[in-house]
Structure 1
Amino acid sequence: MDNFIVSARKYRPVTFDTVVGQQHITNTLKNAIRNNQLAQAFLFCGPRGVGKTTCARILAKTINCTNLQPNAEACGECDSCISFQRGNSFNFHELDAASNNSVEDIRSLIEQVRIPPQAGKYKIYIIDEVHMLSQAAFNAFLKTLEEPPSYAIFILATTEKHKILPTILSRCQIFDFNRIRVEDMAGHLESIANKESIKYEIDGLHIIAQKADGGLRDALSMFDQIVNFSGSNVTYRAVIDNLNILDYDYYFNVTQSLLAQDTAKTLLIFDEILAKGFDGSHFISGLTEHLRNLLVGKDAETLKLLEVSEGIRKKYISQAQASTVSFLLSAMNIANQCDINYKLSKNQRLQVELGLLKMCHITAALNLANSTLNNNQPEGQVKKKPELAATSSTTVPLQNASNEQPKAVITALDQTPPLQAAATKTPSLTAIPAIEAATIEQPPADKPRVAMPTPSLLKSATVTPSLKNWNKGVVAEEEKEDDPYLKGSDKEHFTTDDFLRYWHEYAAKVKAEGKMSLLSIFTTTPPVMLKPYQFEVIAGTKAQENAFRDEKPYILNFLRTSLKNFDIEIQTRIDEVKATKRLYSAQDKYAHMATKNPDLAELKKRFNLELE
């Protein structure tokens, strides 16, 4: 029985024209050979299985061909080509740097470089996986690579260019190999199937090309595997069964259920996928890719980004027309977040199911948001006052007591449907007086128009029930007339307990940030209120006072914002009793002990002792 040769070796390209998907490199090399402008060193970079070593061998064979063809290809019939194909050429040397990466291996190579070729014009040295060379080997190779003999050409190949020394890179012509396109790989597999009389389906070959992720060698290995699995009949079903790939139909059915808001069918399809042994992470990443393909399929200009067969492309176009951009973007965002949180979740199945349920209700959420906006929009305002609509981006927004704009106002300005509007009730705008034409002041012609609400409108917008009923420490309007500190002001009243609660809350923040020198002033003595909204903090040392002074702006900002009162002031005072107490130093202790025992000073002097 004849020995079987895998397709990756049997159909390995032997000329530049048969190289798949690297025309930008093969054309450059052919022109360099035709014009006799070959560099002294080449560096081929790129991912695995894209043709780096293959192009290096073709270049080595073509350089020494004695009967070069008009298209700059080797003839394959001269003595140099025949000896190269048999593997006994003395002008060709290939070194695997992955297993020969020591400085001794490079020195041995340098010794061979000194010997000129006995036949032919050049000696070619290919060093594969050159990034595996040691630092000493790189340094030993530098001088030879910079000034090689006129007959020596070096071709280096690597998958990790960033690991090569810059001094090596500067001495080479660098060629970056691309990942091979799915269409090119599928066409190459189709030509091999025709040569081997293998039945195939175009969709199946496309799946193999997509699974290979740009590497032709991987695609050929999978092709051989599926040929053996299917009995020389490479069908779409055989490919997805053998390579453990989810069928396109699952994603199309899931998306159809999401669009129809059919939660039961969506969960049942996901359960069927899990029953077949597929991982939830595999499914959610594939669903994200499917939604991306639907998004690019909605525009004729981006349709070329769909790397699928023609039959699958038609399905994508059909489903893309039934989907909205808002739905696809929202679903992609949910699927992406689910994919990120999948590995961290303790219940991974629930994580995916929750994401699917959210996607099912996207359409309902968008409809609810649109209907809310339509209901809250004053009738005829845009038609009667076009100038107001034109300047809506510069209009001063109405604010409620918590300084938050109503969500419907924000949505109307941004003109984007909010996804979260379905989960929260949008505040109605009927309670806010509409801005009439009389309230808009007409500016001079040379100034831009800015719509400003009247003072009465601002007053009605700022005084809200939520502001009056903030907490139990609220002060009635009648009490403000009697209290000189509250009269004529809009500041919020608060109790001492409220102040201490936020004081201790900031203390916990200081502790979490590791500011131990500042923490002591929070924990020793609570602040004392001298008069309404003015407090005094007692510091034990000058250092504590300085630390508190540096932190004071942040403390005041936190307390004033939390208590809604910007009249709060805090002053510090050093406790004189605590300040007079200090720790004894080593010198103080020694002086005290020396007064009681004079021999201690003599001992220190005789043995030349020092105080620690």
Structure 2
Amino acid sequence: LLKTLEEPPEHVKFIFATTEIRKVPITVLSRCQRFDLRRIPAADLVRLFSTIAAKEGVEIEDEAVQMIARAAEGSARDGLSLLDQAISHGSGHVEASAVRAMLGLADRARIVDLFGHIMTGDVAAALAEFQSQYEAGANPVVVLNDLADFTHLVTRLKYVPEGAEDVSLSEIERTAGTGFAEKVAVSALSRIWQMLLKGIPETENAARPLGAAEMVLIRLAHAASLPSPEDAARRLLALEEGGAAAAPSAPPAGRPQAGGSGSANAVSARQTGEAPRQSATVTMLHPQSAEARQPEIAPQPETVEPEPAPAPEPQKTSAIKSLQDITDLCSKNRAIKMRSEIRNFVRLVRLEPGRLEVNLLPGTSATFLNDLGAKLREWTGESWFVSLSKEAGAPTLLEAEEAEREQRFRDAREDPEIAAILKFFPGAEIRDVRVRAETETADTAESDAPDAAMNEDGDVLPEDDIDE
């Protein structure tokens, strides 16, 4: 920069250039006049390098100039260094093949062929083409990077067709890129781009770059034949609609179908003796309710006698009788956090079918009541109203368990036999009290009864020697 200033101004103390402006302290930047240099377009670099080569009397191929301009990435200094290396390698005549070997690049035409094999899903052809490029000296990581560049070019040409006029592009890139942009969907190009972004670092860090790159190509070719997420969702929806349309055509003859799935549940309930399913359950299992599908059912002829009305259903009673039932539902549905909050901080005030009043201790989340009501509606299929009460309510489940445990310890200490043991063995203490069920006690008593009397040595005594 000093050479460009024949007579520097008097206020200029020093001039420096850097490519990492963030590393310069703010105290220095505040005392400097800053000039940000932009990257030079590839087209301008091509013209610059061609002019320099002509003045130096060096013959250079157009494709070689384009490769050097792309490798420079907008820097004239880096591009001139690459041009000097190419001239020294070519001895006055620079060919594209020499520049390609110097940069470790693959032939752009062969990259286009590899992209075409991937888009058609031809794994064998893609691997053969990649192996041929590798044997010719191409670096696997560079091949994947060139493949990503061409994918970006095709995607960009879909929205900016004028980009094909860039002079830094070769003829094969210009024509093939425009052709692929017209045929390949954006979703497929985005999928390939994302897979390459993940596959390139894997190949760089792999102990076997060749094998890692081949695995990336296999994934790309396989993914090219998969439908897009929109097509997959559309096909799934068509299958569901087809199954829903075919289902009503299978009931026995002479039986009306006006009840839809609800009538089928009622019939099965009368046959098995079980309660019919609620409509809420049907709505939860399938987004299209039975009422939404009723217009698709063909009207039945009037000559068919309607099925007799089913007996009135008994009044629905909630399966939730206590807070313990709610915690069991939480465990069943893996709502661990909500189960912990109920056990530790919830005091029951009133519990009725569809209504729950509680008193909360400090420690619950701000949205606990709303979340609990939503979960109860989801798990039971019933409408629940959960409210906060000012009444003290019953102890929490944890408090009740602690009180029950303390009561068991008190009962154990008052037991005469245990009290005698504690008195006979100083320092002994009660660690735990377990309540044995009645059936377990009876079974244990039977198993503990001896089959025959034994003496101190373990010999079985005859019945006559047993002292009653």
Instruction: Report the TM-score when normalising by structure 2.
Output: 0.57
Local SS of the residue matching 2:361: helix
**C-alpha distance in 2, partners of 1:530/1:335?**
57
CA shift for structure 1 position 171: 5.7
Local SS of the residue matching 2:312: helix
Which one of 220, 225, 229 corresponds to residue 355 of structure 1? 220
Local SS of the residue matching 2:180: coil
Aligned runs of 1:283-432 on 2, under 5 Å? Answer: 283-297=143-157, 302-303=162-163, 306=166, 308-309=168-169, 312=170, 314-323=171-180, 325=182, 327-342=184-199, 343=201, 348-349=212-213, 350-359=215-224, 361=225, 365=227, 418-421=230-233, 424=236, 426-427=238-239, 429=241
8 Å CA contact 1:297–1:303 kept in 2: the answer is yes
Q: Are the structure 2 counterparts of residues 426 and 258 from structure 1 closer, same or farther at C-alpha, using a change threshold of 3 Å?
A: farther
Local SS of the residue matching 2:239: coil
1:104 aligns with none
Local SS of the residue matching 2:35: strand
CA shift for structure 1 position 235: 1.0
Which one of 253, 256, 276 corresponds to residue 475 of structure 1? 276
CA shift for structure 1 position 357: 1.6
**1:191 partner amino acid:** T
Q: Are the structure 2 counterparts of residues 524 and 165 from structure 1 closer, same or farther at C-alpha, using a change threshold of 3 Å?
A: closer
1:574 maps onto 2:390 in alignment = no
**2:127 partner amino acid:** L
8 Å CA contact 1:335–1:355 kept in 2: the answer is yes
2:47 aligns with 187
String of CA shifts for 1:468-519, please: whole Å, max 9, x gaps: 99xxx98347999322128xxxxx99999996665026765529xxxxxx82
Q: Are the structure 2 counterparts of residues 465 and 234 from structure 1 closer, same or farther at C-alpha, using a change threshold of 3 Å?
A: farther
The number of aligned residues is 341
**2:97 partner amino acid:** R
CA shift for structure 1 position 557: 1.8
**C-alpha distance in 1, partners of 2:356/2:388?**
6
**2:67 partner amino acid:** I
Q: CA RMSD, aligned part only? A: 5.0
2:71 aligns with 211
2:337 aligns with 510
CA shift for structure 1 position 578: 4.0
**C-alpha distance in 1, partners of 2:321/2:133?**
60
1:231 maps onto 2:91 in alignment = yes
**2:222 partner amino acid:** L
Q: Are the structure 2 counterparts of residues 199 and 462 from structure 1 closer, same or farther at C-alpha, using a change threshold of 3 Å?
A: farther
CA shift for structure 1 position 243: 0.7
**C-alpha distance in 2, partners of 1:460/1:280?**
65
1:552 maps onto 2:369 in alignment = yes
**C-alpha distance in 2, partners of 1:258/1:170?**
53
**C-alpha distance in 2, partners of 1:528/1:263?**
68
Q: Are the structure 2 counterparts of residues 333 and 562 from structure 1 closer, same or farther at C-alpha, using a change threshold of 3 Å?
A: farther
Q: Are the structure 2 counterparts of residues 520 and 547 from structure 1 closer, same or farther at C-alpha, using a change threshold of 3 Å?
A: closer
String of CA shifts for 1:104-160, please: whole Å, max 9, x gaps: xxxxxxxxxxxxxxxxx85854332xxxxxxxxxxxxxxxxxxxxxxxxxxxx3333
**C-alpha distance in 1, partners of 2:321/2:202?**
44
2:361 aligns with 543
1:519 maps onto 2:340 in alignment = yes
**C-alpha distance in 2, partners of 1:508/1:285?**
46
CA shift for structure 1 position 239: 0.9
**C-alpha distance in 2, partners of 1:233/1:263?**
39
1:244 maps onto 2:104 in alignment = yes
Instruction: Report the TM-score when normalising by structure 1.
Output: 0.45
Which one of 122, 126, 129 corresponds to residue 266 of structure 1? 126
1:159 aligns with 19
1:200 aligns with 60
CA shift for structure 1 position 234: 1.4
Higher helix share: 2
**2:104 partner amino acid:** N
Q: Are the structure 2 counterparts of residues 124 and 550 from structure 1 closer, same or farther at C-alpha, using a change threshold of 3 Å?
A: closer
CA shift for structure 1 position 211: 0.5
Q: Are the structure 2 counterparts of residues 507 and 245 from structure 1 closer, same or farther at C-alpha, using a change threshold of 3 Å?
A: same
Structure 1 portions without partners, runs of 5+: 1-52, 64-91, 93-120, 129-156, 367-416, 434-458, 487-491, 512-517, 582-612
Structure 2 portions without partners, runs of 5+: 246-257, 269-273, 279-308, 404-468
| Larger Rg computed on CA atoms | 2
Identity of aligned residues (%): 18
8 Å CA contact 2:40–2:75 kept in 1: the answer is yes
